[in-house]
Amino acid sequence: MPAPKLRDVRKLADSRAVFELDFPLVELPGFPVEFLPASGQVHARLSFGREQGFVVVQMGLQADLALCCQRCLEPMPLHVDTSSTVLIVELQQEAETTPAGWETFLAPEGRLDFAALTAEELLLALPIVPLHDDAAQCQRLAAAPAAVTAVATSAVEPEQATARPFANLRALLERGAKTLK
């Protein structure tokens, strides 16, 4: 089923609408291309309703992404399976008055872009620092650069004398003071 572009959030909440959507990852607005596998999609389940007078959407997301492990700097597959509750607001001022702890998403004029909401929630589900689950895998990959560094260090010339550019400054100042007299 193709995703609707913009929908009226009040009508969706009042009808308690539920959508099961699949978005190609490359079509998510603002989603960084460095997180994308060669092909793939995100499956989103959106259930609309109301809580405390606000329009809310219960979201469930599933996707397979390709990130870069920050420990070994090698590609790292990541399976995302997350759910969250998002409060939909029409104005920025409304977001500032929502109950503490609620996650909000801005839908100007009450019109919601499902792909934009999905992209934001997927970004929020990513780890701040992506790392392989198995540290041994990273250690094996990190061991190779350490060996190269050890070889490179042994090939460096012996330590040269440290240059001290101001070592003779006192003598120069004293000589300058004598010539001024």
Task: Report pLDDT digits (tens) over 20-61.
Answer: 999 988 888 888 777 766 578 899 999 999 998 889 999 999
Domain positions in the chain: 7-135
Specify the DSSP element, H or E, that contains 88: strand 75-89
Task: Report pLDDT digits (tens) over 149-167.
Answer: 444 444 445 556 677 777 7
Q: Is the pTM of this model over 0.85?
A: no
DSSP one-letter code for 22: E
67 and 78 Cβ atoms separated by less than 8 Å: yes
